[in-house]
A and B are shown apart, each in its own frame.
Chain A
């Protein structure tokens, strides 16, 4: 079951407003197809790119990719860009239970739902990744989108969304254990970190309440369907003709309303809930980037300390008058002076990159949320309008009972 067309949000033009550039590239993930049998089976997805950008040889092309290919792409991008301050969008979560059901061949609604959830998540992941001007230039990304054959990604354990979270938590622990507090010369970073921390908490709370909403709406749908059936049965029993007919009509209305609830629950989930969980994982990536900056600072700091020690050693050697040791010390000092300089450059670079990235991220976040909120409210309006239609059709039937 694919998303109803009215609620489809992926076919949008993406504009980079700040630079005035028009990022004309659209990614679609579709047609999940099971390949193979048993526990070695996997799902293959069609990745279609539509673009007018000159860096691509064609304007429209598609390839087949499996889930581990996506993880492999993310792993490559993360290893290249995360530690220098770029917010690399996290890949969707792995799910052993969900995937096993699909492999084993359970053709039930829960495995179809799982595949659809994954398909949509993969699509959003790619859309976010290509929206990033730096990542878009990356050859690995282009190879992923264009090559008909892709080398099998191995070791995709490390950097799934959960993997990133683990990594961030480990880094955070390491930072906390450091007795040397980073001398934050720039209040901006401290402020932003706090902001993201708060945002993370709030989004998690909101996400939990939306999940409850989805759950109850599904329950409402199931209960409405059950009631519709019993209303139909009651209508059959009723021996007053006009009332019997009205009850049958009521049953029909309730059946249609059940459909409506299902569609709305779908919208609740794919628009609202998934947006929130995407951002919860994105913020984990942002936190990771801040922590990399801390590590970078620590490295610089350590280099400075080491340089100091080397200078002390040189002084000691001079006093002790050991000429060969003095030369060694001088060499080491030169080596560490270079490292200190590099450390400072790296730190300044990562700080600059992060500032730019956070600015871009926040802009995207505002756009994303606004777009989704509007689409979601429109879905709610649609549901109410349908309800009006159904009840307006029913009212004369009820009045016709004589």
Chain B
């Protein structure tokens, strides 16, 4: 199924407010996107008039390049955008196409419309996620200067980043296992004492926060899904009321027909409630789930640096007692110390930025959520009241 998205104001993500620091001349946006059978092509446009076409795998390549770069070990790497996934939506459209002869033509048309709107919503979201990723990079004073970033933004040709083959996938999987094992080991190593209260607090906080926000996100998804099911129920309901009204010969005729119309309008409102909850709540929670994971990764890297520092100290002591290779041990210990301190300093700043980002984003989204819920509830009330007046006024 083809889908096109002309970007502009509407594709600007509302789930992250990005604070541009210092030189704000780097502006990146996804100006166009096309969904083809098995991939999505994003048109990435930079203010300096570069325009390239990129696919999801190339975004992942860029993300991984940042993660693997030692220079950025002390920074929170913006989370990679999720893979575009239209599978569920496509399946539903297909099932609808296969036909259920018991539904009327109007019902079919409405259901098709709903599914197409769903598809479009998923499409818009994936564009927004990819755009936010780039915009955070562009806003970060250090990350924006990365060479790979410029290549990504400017190099006209395909980056030839093939999808990960099996070996690489397996490698990635194993790397994650090793990382968690490492993390567990490090934090329980008796010798490793966290000297900084700030980081001790952050570690406890982030571990718990990440688990809970993931939970909240999953459950928010389920609420949204239920709302959508409810809205969809109004389609056969309205159709049945319509048939009843058409066939009646008495005063119930107008009652049923008015009721049918009412439920059709309520359906649209209920659908909007569902999609607003999705955007303002689910998506925001999902984003900060990923961002808090990125923050956790930063803490892990710092802990690793601390472990290296501790080990270097021990090695130096040993070298001094044996009086062998003291100079090498000294310089290694110096390096580890500097690296650790560098990471700690930048991590502190990054974590404070993370907090202020999170707070302002939650604030914005919760306010917008409440305002939209109010708007829809008021509209529903008006609709219902008008129908009641019309029905009561009947003989």
For the complex, what is the distance from the CA of A381 to the CA of B201, rounded to whole Å? Answer: 48
Q: Is B378 an interface residue (CB 8 A)?
A: yes
Contacts of B366 in A (CB 8 A): 246, 250, 398, 401
Taking a contact as CB atoms under 8 Å apart, the answer to whether B388 and A378 are in contact is yes
Contacts of A378 in B (CB 8 A): 388
A195-245 contacts to B (CB < 8 Å): 195, 198-199, 202-203, 205-206, 208-210, 212-213, 216-217, 219-220, 223-224, 226-227, 229-231, 233-234, 236-240, 242-243
Contacts of B23 in A (CB 8 A): none
Q: Is B384 an interface residue (CB 8 A)?
A: yes
Q: Is A1 an interface residue (CB 8 A)?
A: no
Interface-lining segment among A107-115, A155-163, A385-393: A385-393
Taking a contact as CB atoms under 8 Å apart, the answer to whether B385 and A226 are in contact is no
Taking a contact as CB atoms under 8 Å apart, the answer to whether B209 and A212 are in contact is no
Taking a contact as CB atoms under 8 Å apart, the answer to whether A391 and B359 are in contact is no
Contacts of B241 in A (CB 8 A): 206
For the complex, what is the distance from the CA of A74 to the CA of B306, rounded to whole Å? Answer: 84
Nearest A residue (CB) for B207: A237
A-contact 0/1 string along B368-380, CB 8 Å cutoff: 0111011001101
Nearest-CB distance from B258 to chain A (Å)? 9
The number of A-B residue pairs with CB atoms under 8 Å apart is 158
Contacts of B201 in A (CB 8 A): 239
Q: Is A374 an interface residue (CB 8 A)?
A: yes
Taking a contact as CB atoms under 8 Å apart, the answer to whether B223 and A370 are in contact is no
A-contact 0/1 string along B340-358, CB 8 Å cutoff: 0000000000000001001
Contacts of A212 in B (CB 8 A): 233, 236
B194-246 contacts to A (CB < 8 Å): 201, 205, 208-209, 212-213, 215-216, 218-220, 222-223, 225-227, 229-230, 233-234, 236-237, 239-241, 243-244
Taking a contact as CB atoms under 8 Å apart, the answer to whether B209 and A230 are in contact is no
Taking a contact as CB atoms under 8 Å apart, the answer to whether A388 and B233 are in contact is no
Nearest A residue (CB) for B229: A216
Taking a contact as CB atoms under 8 Å apart, the answer to whether A195 and B385 are in contact is no
Taking a contact as CB atoms under 8 Å apart, the answer to whether A388 and B226 are in contact is no
Taking a contact as CB atoms under 8 Å apart, the answer to whether B237 and A384 are in contact is no
Taking a contact as CB atoms under 8 Å apart, the answer to whether B380 and A237 are in contact is no
Contacts of B374 in A (CB 8 A): 388, 391-392, 395
Q: Is B391 an interface residue (CB 8 A)?
A: yes
Taking a contact as CB atoms under 8 Å apart, the answer to whether B370 and A395 are in contact is yes
Contacts of A205 in B (CB 8 A): 236, 240, 243
Contacts of A217 in B (CB 8 A): 230
Output the residue of B201, B205, B215, B394 with the most chain A CB within 10 A: B215
Q: Is B298 an interface residue (CB 8 A)?
A: no
A209 touches which of B222, B236, B387 (Cβ 8 Å): B236
Q: Is B363 an interface residue (CB 8 A)?
A: yes
Taking a contact as CB atoms under 8 Å apart, the answer to whether B244 and A203 are in contact is yes
Q: Is B251 an interface residue (CB 8 A)?
A: yes
Q: Is B252 an interface residue (CB 8 A)?
A: yes
Taking a contact as CB atoms under 8 Å apart, the answer to whether B362 and A243 are in contact is yes
Nearest-CB distance from A149 to chain B (Å)? 43
Taking a contact as CB atoms under 8 Å apart, the answer to whether A223 and B222 are in contact is yes
Contacts of B229 in A (CB 8 A): 216, 219-220
Contacts of A198 in B (CB 8 A): 247
For the complex, what is the distance from the CA of A198 to the CA of B388, rounded to whole Å? Answer: 27
Nearest A residue (CB) for B259: A373
Contacts of A242 in B (CB 8 A): 359
Contacts of B367 in A (CB 8 A): 395, 398-399
B216 touches which of A203, A223, A233 (Cβ 8 Å): A233
Taking a contact as CB atoms under 8 Å apart, the answer to whether A230 and B233 are in contact is no
For the complex, what is the distance from the CA of A135 to the CA of B378, rounded to whole Å? Answer: 47
Given contacts A243-B359, A243-B363, A370-B251, whether A213 and B233 have CB atoms under 8 Å apart is yes
For the complex, what is the distance from the CA of A239 to the CA of B391, rounded to whole Å? Answer: 53
Taking a contact as CB atoms under 8 Å apart, the answer to whether B215 and A233 are in contact is yes
Taking a contact as CB atoms under 8 Å apart, the answer to whether B213 and A234 are in contact is yes
Say what secondary structure dominates the interface of chain B.
helix
Contacts of B362 in A (CB 8 A): 243, 246-247, 401
B384 touches which of A210, A234, A381 (Cβ 8 Å): A381
Taking a contact as CB atoms under 8 Å apart, the answer to whether B230 and A220 are in contact is yes
A233-279 contacts to B (CB < 8 Å): 233-234, 236-240, 242-243, 246-247, 250
Nearest-CB distance from A117 to chain B (Å)? 21
For the complex, what is the distance from the CA of A365 to the CA of B237, rounded to whole Å? Answer: 20
Contacts of B236 in A (CB 8 A): 205, 208-209, 212
Nearest-CB distance from B358 to chain A (Å)? 8
Q: Is B392 an interface residue (CB 8 A)?
A: yes
Contacts of A374 in B (CB 8 A): 388, 391-392
Output the residue of A208, A217, A231 with the most chain B CB within 10 A: A231
Q: Is A97 an interface residue (CB 8 A)?
A: no
For the complex, what is the distance from the CA of A217 to the CA of B234, rounded to whole Å? Answer: 12
Contacts of B355 in A (CB 8 A): 239-240
B363 touches which of A199, A203, A238, A398 (Cβ 8 Å): A398
Nearest-CB distance from A185 to chain B (Å)? 22
Nearest-CB distance from A73 to chain B (Å)? 30
For the complex, what is the distance from the CA of A75 to the CA of B274, rounded to whole Å? Answer: 50
Taking a contact as CB atoms under 8 Å apart, the answer to whether A366 and B387 are in contact is no
Output the residue of B216, B219, B240 with the most chain A CB within 10 A: B216
Given contacts A246-B362, A399-B367, whether A366 and B388 have CB atoms under 8 Å apart is no
Output the residue of A208, A226, A229 with the most chain B CB within 10 A: A226
Q: Is A67 an interface residue (CB 8 A)?
A: no
Contacts of B234 in A (CB 8 A): 213
Contacts of B251 in A (CB 8 A): 366, 370
Nearest-CB distance from B107 to chain A (Å)? 10
Taking a contact as CB atoms under 8 Å apart, the answer to whether B205 and A195 are in contact is no
For the complex, what is the distance from the CA of A97 to the CA of B239, rounded to whole Å? Answer: 33
Q: Is A394 an interface residue (CB 8 A)?
A: yes
Q: Is B142 an interface residue (CB 8 A)?
A: no
Contacts of B391 in A (CB 8 A): 370, 373-374, 377
Q: Is B381 an interface residue (CB 8 A)?
A: yes
Identify 14 new A-B residue pairs, CB closer than 8 A, beyond the known A236-B212, A384-B378. A205-B240, A220-B223, A226-B219, A233-B216, A234-B209, A239-B355, A243-B359, A250-B366, A373-B255, A374-B388, A377-B262, A380-B380, A391-B370, A395-B371
A-B residue pairs in contact (CB < 8 Å), sample of 12:
A209-B237, A226-B219, A227-B216, A227-B219, A230-B216, A230-B218, A233-B216, A236-B212, A237-B212, A377-B262, A388-B374, A391-B373
Contact residues of B with A, CB < 8 Å?
A: 201, 205, 208-209, 212-213, 215-216, 218-220, 222-223, 225-227, 229-230, 233-234, 236-237, 239-241, 243-244, 247, 249-252, 255, 259, 262, 355, 358-359, 362-363, 366-367, 369-371, 373-374, 377-378, 380-381, 384-385, 387-388, 391-392, 394
